[in-house]
Chain A
Amino acid sequence: MSALHIAIIVPFLFALVIPLLYNKVPKIHTGWFVLILPTILFGYLLSFIPTISSGETVVKQFAWVPSLGINFDVHLDGLALLFGLLITGIGALVVLYSVFYLTKKGEALHNFYFYLLMFMGAMLGVVLSGNLMVLYVFWELTSLSSSLLIGYWHHREKSRYGAQKSMLITVTGGFAMLAGFSLLYVMTGSFTITEIIGQADVVASSALFIPAMLLILMGAFTKSAQFPFHIWLPDAMEAPTPVSAYLHSATMVKMGIYLVARVSPIFSGAPEWFWIVSGVGLFTLFWGSFNAVRQTDLKSILAYSTISQLGMIMSMLGVGSAAAYYGYEGGYTAATIAAIFHLINHSTFKGSLFMVAGIVDHETGTRDIRKLGGLMTFMPITFTIAIIGAFSMAGVYPFNGFLSKEMFLESMVHALHITDFNMQTFGMLFPVIAWVASVFTFIYSMILVFKTFTGKYQADKLDKKPHEAPIGMLLPPIVLASLVVLFGFFPNILSHSIIEPAVQAIYPTSLTGIDHFDIHIYAWHGFDSPALWMTISIIAVGLILYLTLSKWQKIYQFLRLHKKDPINYIYDGILDKLVSGSAKVTNLQMTGLLRDYFVYMNIFLIGLAFYTLYHFDSFGVDTTNVAPIPLYVWIIVGVVAAAAIAVPFINNRVASIISVGFVGFLVSLFYVLFRAPDLALTQLLVETVTTALFLLCFYHLPELRKEKFKPTFKWINVIISVGVGAMVTTMALSAMSFGNKKPFEAISQYFIDNAHDLAGGDNVVNIILVDFRGMDTMLEILVLGIAALGVVTLIKLRMNGKEDV
């Protein structure tokens, strides 16, 4: 246990105290207490910057379940530190924001902050863990807390739907990831990330390489809302806006990117990895931006925008993986550097935009851009923040988004240099998709700002009169917006301290080639830079398309995208079919009829038993020890059989009882013949009593109904009955013949030998019953006693089922 371990655990412990604070100190908004923690943690993590940026890694170990290879090892490197700072830094801002966003009255604040702290701890756990399984544990906890936060206003139908959707999709991905990690364990014998990376060549040459990769990517893609798993994110917007800002844009959805970056030393270099990561990323980038334009809800626009931006970062990591193939001088590392830089930038501008959306919602009562407009005069500060955030997102100078967008475009163009992986054929798609998606990004960024803050103010459509938000709510987005500007002008304050160590964590083997990545980010690349011309054309085309939006918006209706994302039909369809289909399957088996149950069970038994006998060739009849059968025994056998066969054909209760009794009495005759008079007496007694009892009861029952069955039904029953009989008989004969062939002395000989001397009796059966195996007898007596007591209860106790639970 080290201080870093404690930093992960403290949020959970603090979460447990929250309900207490909420109840005991109702006067102070619980958020104020919560705020302390991320602030301290942020400061604590900041103190690691000098160590980490000098290229060191902090590793602390703690054994948790070593026999399963699960150790709670903390592994703090550049990548972990970057995420840690995002989690705590933005966490602190979001908590501050939430204090003003959620009122003390009527809100279940204890639940809210409990989930939020649980989430924070889980996130720190994910990024700081050096063990894949511990990472997984925390990963699922983030899914869980995210889901609980989405369902925070659980009286709303939509919140519940969103919560369930996010839970199902992300946990499904998580389970796939678990399988992927297990495969890695099978290949390398370890869950420790550094050890697995050390054996990357073993993994690469294994047949399980591709399955493990796909499974782990499934986890990453579901979490980071990559197409086609992105559909949970727009529905996650039902969560309170601070949550959307924190989980669903700045931190949790970046976990997939974190994971891809974390495991890329294992997988990168493989063409499959390159294509899947960059391909899925690019398509998601396009899909998200294309769909964001058609949204009318501010948060929906932001949700699709987040999807799109995540795809963008993902695609850069994909292109960056080429560096593992071509070496680190090939310039492909630039894509990874851009990915990390954009990840930071996205958190700043998207976080501020979400907070703006929250302010608008809070102050006007709606987020629908069709009702909004002209808010500029009412909330100038909010408007300024929105401008900064949106322009950064659109990639406009001088904001940080411009820089990373240029780097992105540059790296997509640079990807054309890749000569393998079939890139000659499909490579052109990279810059083309990047350009098209950027155009749409520009358009929705403009929509976001101008449809909300400019245009005509529609007072009649709003519930309240808008005014500027309180300072506490403005402060967090102001901080983020300032960062947007700061990073825009001085990007290099990040490059050595944060970005370089993070990139080194992604290329851990690179340092054998070069000392360190010389990262220098600058805005001006000269007139020969393709990115510059791409940016200019994006802005020009974007502006034209924004101004003519109403003319071409019909395209969404034409493509049937205007109602909901078509992937949702698949999700809803699967869920519907799942419930109705499983009901069908279940009702087919659980008919409530004993005869059906026995049909299934007996078919199974007969099939399996005969298959086994056949498989081991164990049929056998052995007649060596068989005594001669006199004629009268044959006759009795015939009569017993006839009486038994007659039972199903009799339609009268009394007659069938007599027939069954007949069988019983004749069986006792067998005991007489085989010289077991005591058994014969017992059997006679039992038969007499049961037959008499049956007759007494059945006298009071109505006549049997005549039931008509189809012939097939009857024949199936006949076949099954005969089958069970045949199976029991075959097995009995085979067992006997087996026993004859390989004789063991039966334990009964001991009873015969010792009954007199040791147990003092001559009737061996009695001695067995009362002495050798007296315990069996005692328990059988108990069984009879319980049965008797049970009968009394059954007759006397009549309840209606409503008295108790």
Chain B
Amino acid sequence: MSNFLTLPILLPMFIGTILIFFAKKHKLQRVIAGFSALSLLGVAIYLGYIVYTDPSQIITLEIGDWPAPFGIVLVADMFATMMVILSSIVGVVCLFFAFKTIHSDREKFYFYPFYFYLLTGVNGAFLTGDMFNLFVFFEVMLISSYVLIVHGGTGYQLRESFKYVVMNMVASAFFLVALAYLYATTGTLNMADLAERVQVLEQEGILNGIAILFLFVFGAKGALFPLYFWLPKSYYGPPAAISALFGGLLTKVGIYAIIRVFTLIFVHNTEFTHTIILILAGGTMFFGVLGAVSQFDFKRILSYHIISQVGYMVMGLGVYTPLALAGAIYYIAHHIIVKSALFLFAGATQKITGTTELKKMGGLLKTHPWLGWLFFISAMSLAGIPPLSGFFSKFALILAAVQKESYYIVVVALVVGILTLFSMMKIFMYAFWGEPKISQDKVNRKEMFALLRPIIPLVVLTICLGFFAEPIFQYSLGVSEQILDPANYVNAVLGK
């Protein structure tokens, strides 16, 4: 029991609301937002620390003191706190990048409140221990994302975000339907209680259908094959800071939910459910990367790569061994950091060249070596080149799949790795190599450094995640062992 658990949710919610009142004063907004984001990060890290040092490594809070499973319960286990920390890191970085890049008109129109509301929803989704409450947090997150993705209201944004909204609404509707079925069969909505009751029911019959429905719902949020159609074009529209936040975080909330539900509740027919997950993982990786290979636009390539990499995370769940899940968790951490960094580099590049089309760029390595090399490190990390973070996470996944004798997925994962490298090389070769194509530079040295400053911590993180892979991997393994034994969670929540 700790009220501290509410802070990652309540802090951004209140800050968002306060910021509405200062909408016209953008300097004050920045100060408040910056400090709040940093303190949110502090809160997240502290929460992670107290959970890690707690004997059971799970801390719960019954909201309004209504006992579980009747009231809403917040559950901070190692997985959830890790995700909260990651979201806070990206939250800080993208915010500081936004300070440097976004237009003051956006700041006047509640950019920062929406930003913090989005974080409210994301953090809540990680921390909640109640299926219906998860739905509500998804709504908070999605409604903020709807606004942020259309923020600015250009023709392109209006057209593409309409599709984004409609597809997500349909998925949300199915979420409600699935919740209704779940309640009809088990009579509860608390995740721990659900875990227990589904176990008693031996996950028979229709419960599997409901599991598949949840897979569909979270798969649509997490951009799994063949449910990812909303993603590539809608992420292209908003400013880089938002694309980076979305690219890093949003789909991962869906993936988090899939992993949570399919390690805690629906774990009694893994032969069936997790095989389907593995197949979807392969399709997601493969078709996602094909999209990236076909594109010649910085941001579009990155958008398609989100899809292919989501596949790797789900692959870890599909293989379903401690090592595989540890790999998936490592991958999530790696991906959130690197993907956000890459989107921000796309933004910085766009600021210099005025475009995201690769064929209009060239020779940036000569004029902006720092940008070039920092991008290169992140790109290689994404492609899984050792010893950066992408390598170790991918390697754990591949090793686990080989051990489980799932050779097909290994082949897919490796082929996708090569194609990832190919498309990352493509960006590097077009944008950074070759002859400079822009006549006048819009960004001087000092401004360039100001742009890069927020991104550098992410690049440092991806390097550290590689070189100090042992502690990170130990932590991931700890997370994976914790979530693979649902009893930990159930006992912590229901107090047995």
Q: Which residues of A pack against B, CB within 8 Å?
A: 63-68, 70, 108, 133, 136-137, 140-141, 144, 151, 154-155, 160, 163-164, 167-168, 171-172, 175-176, 178-179, 182-183, 185-186, 578-579, 581-583, 585-587, 589-590, 592, 594, 597-598, 600-601, 604-605, 608-609, 612-613, 615-618, 620, 728, 731-732, 734-736, 738-739, 742-748, 750-751, 771-776, 779-780, 782-783, 786-787, 789-790, 792-794, 796-801, 803-805
Contact = CB atoms under 8 A, between A and B. Distances in A.
Interface in B6-51: 13, 20
Contacts of B170: 598, 601
Contacts of A748: 187
A797 B414 contact: no
B477 A67 contact: yes
Contact of B418 (A155, A168, A797): A168
B425 A167 contact: yes
A132 B209 CA distance: 44
Contacts of B206: 613, 616, 618, 620, 731, 734-735, 738
25 contacts: A154-B434, A167-B425, A175-B414, A175-B417, A176-B414, A182-B398, A586-B294, A600-B226, A613-B206, A616-B204, A616-B208, A731-B213, A732-B177, A732-B180, A746-B187, A747-B70, A771-B66, A782-B13, A783-B136, A783-B139, A786-B140, A797-B109, A798-B152, A804-B103, A805-B350
A666 B425 CA distance: 59
A219 to B, nearest CB: 12
B246 interface: no
A805 B184 contact: no
Nearest to A596: B229
Among A774, A776, A797, A804, residue most surrounded by chain B Cβ atoms (within 10 Å) = A804
Given A597-B230, A780-B139, A803 B293 contact: no
B368 interface: no
Given A589-B287, A786-B140, A805 B240 contact: yes
Contact of A68 (B294, B419, B473): B473
B110 interface: yes
Contacts of A579: 293-294
Contacts of A804: 101-103, 106, 239
Interface string B219-234: 0100000110110110
Nearest to B224: A604
A590 B291 contact: yes
Among B20, B72, B110, B185, residue most surrounded by chain A Cβ atoms (within 10 Å) = B185
A803 B66 contact: no
A183 B402 contact: yes
Contacts, number: 312
A742 B137 CA distance: 31
B70 A586 contact: no
B442 to A, nearest CB: 11
A179 B133 contact: no
Nearest to B74: A775
Interface string B64-85: 1010011110000000000000
B166 interface: yes
A747 B187 contact: yes
Contacts of A137: 386-387, 391
A612 B399 contact: no
B425 A590 contact: no
Interface stretch (B112-120, B454-462, B482-490): B112-120
A771 to B, nearest CB: 7
Interface stretch (B143-151, B255-263, B312-320, B332-340): B143-151
Interface string B357-392: 000000101100000000000001000011100011
Contacts of A803: 103, 105
**Size class of the contact patch on chain B:** 35 or more
A582 B290 contact: yes
A226 B363 CA distance: 34
A789 B293 contact: no
Contacts of B272: 612, 615-616
Contacts of B293: 578-579, 582
B205 interface: yes
A612 B209 contact: yes
A68 B323 CA distance: 9
Nearest to B241: A805
B91 interface: no
Given A734-B209, A779-B136, A782-B140, A586 B230 contact: no
B492 interface: no
B276 interface: yes
A144 B387 CA distance: 12
Contact of B177 (A185, A728, A800): A728
A50 B414 CA distance: 43
Given A176-B414, A745-B187, A779-B137, A597 B229 contact: yes
B253 interface: no
Interface in B387-436: 387, 391-392, 395-396, 398-399, 402-403, 410, 414, 417-419, 421-422, 425, 429, 433-435
A586 B291 contact: yes
A615 B205 CA distance: 9
Given A597-B230, A738-B185, A797 B167 contact: no
Contacts of B396: 68
B312 to A, nearest CB: 14
A643 B466 CA distance: 61
Contact of B421 (A70, A167, A617, A738): A167
Interface string B183-212: 111111110010001000100111111111
Contact of B110 (A179, A745, A789, A800): A789
B322 to A, nearest CB: 11
B261 to A, nearest CB: 15
